[in-house]
A and B are shown apart, each in its own frame.
Chain A
Amino acid sequence: EAQVTQNPRYLITVTGKKLTVTCSQNMNHEYMSWYRQDPGLGLRQIYYSMNVEVTDKGDVPEGYKVSRKEKRNFPLILESPSPNQTSLYFCASSLSGRIDTQYFGPGTRLTVL
């Protein structure tokens, strides 16, 4: 079954404690992205990657890091989380950027106290 998986699905942490949210896809997609979703602001892109070792900033990259060492994985790293990073995070992937092949993961709800 084609899918994008994220872990963890729910996380409560404290300010400053480094964390990583993993994202993995089983469709051999080149493109992967991270979004955050906040009430009244919709989905906003954090980072995206067009292939292994190729990443670029989205609209709201501050406070986040990513890496793309393998095609299937695209982890999101918060080195020093702050309360304003409390949000619902989605990972997405697509085949060569084709819109009709895009899949979203189930989401990770992060709370930073």
Chain B
Amino acid sequence: QKEVEQDPGPLSVPEGAIVSLNCTYSNSAFQYFMWYRQYSRKGPELLMYTYSSGNKEDGRFTAQVDKSSKYISLFIRDSQPSDSATYLCAMSARTASKLTFGTGTRLQVTL
């Protein structure tokens, strides 16, 4: 069993929809929870990160962490075609030196 599980998709939604992306994990030592966005032929870019449990909001994006359930989510409101990308969750026990990634969910936002 992988330490981090993520549905690969693809997920196709119409423009303006609310998107929910999720990951589950098994390692209780994880304290930092990240979401990266990766456009085709590009490197991942950090979208949001959260320390421990709770919610964090940044514009149209909301990250949620439920450590009791070992479950994290990323919500995208009012999705746009420019949000079409692969979204990777990642986790770490301490720092950016040792990250464990999910396999990524490919999202397509259609007009």
| Bound CA span A104–B36, Å | 10
A104 / chain B contacts, CB cutoff of 8 Å: 43-45
B45 / chain A contacts, CB cutoff of 8 Å: 104
Mark the stretch among B11-19, B59-67, B72-80, B94-102 that contacts chain A. B94-102
Tell me which of B6, B96, B103 has the highest count of chain A C-beta atoms within 10 A of its own C-beta: B96
Closest to A98 in B: B96
| Bound CA span A106–B104, Å | 17
Q: Is the interface of B mostly helix, strand, loop or mixed?
A: loop
Would you call B44 and A45 a contact (CB within 8 A)?
Answer: no
Known A-B contacts A105-B43, A107-B43; A42 and B88 likewise in contact (beta carbons under 8 Å) = yes
Which B residues from 21 to 45 make CB contacts under 8 A with A? 32, 34, 41-45
CB distance from B90 to the nearest CB of A (A): 8
Known A-B contacts A99-B32, A104-B45, A107-B41; A40 and B96 likewise in contact (beta carbons under 8 Å) = no
Interface residue tally for chain B (C-beta within 8 Å): 25
- Any B CB within 8 A of the CB of A68: no
Would you call B96 and A90 a contact (CB within 8 A)?
Answer: no
25 contacts between A and B (CB under 8 A): A4-B43, A31-B96, A31-B97, A33-B96, A42-B4, A43-B44, A44-B101, A45-B98, A45-B99, A48-B97, A48-B98, A90-B43, A90-B44, A92-B43, A94-B95, A94-B96, A97-B94, A97-B96, A99-B34, A99-B46, A99-B96, A101-B96, A102-B46, A104-B45, A107-B42
Pairs A-B, 8 closest by C-beta atoms: A97-B95, A104-B43, A42-B103, A43-B101, A94-B96, A42-B101, A99-B96, A102-B96
A residues engaging B (CB < 8 A)?
A: 4, 31, 33, 35, 40-45, 48, 50, 58, 90, 92, 94, 96-102, 104-107
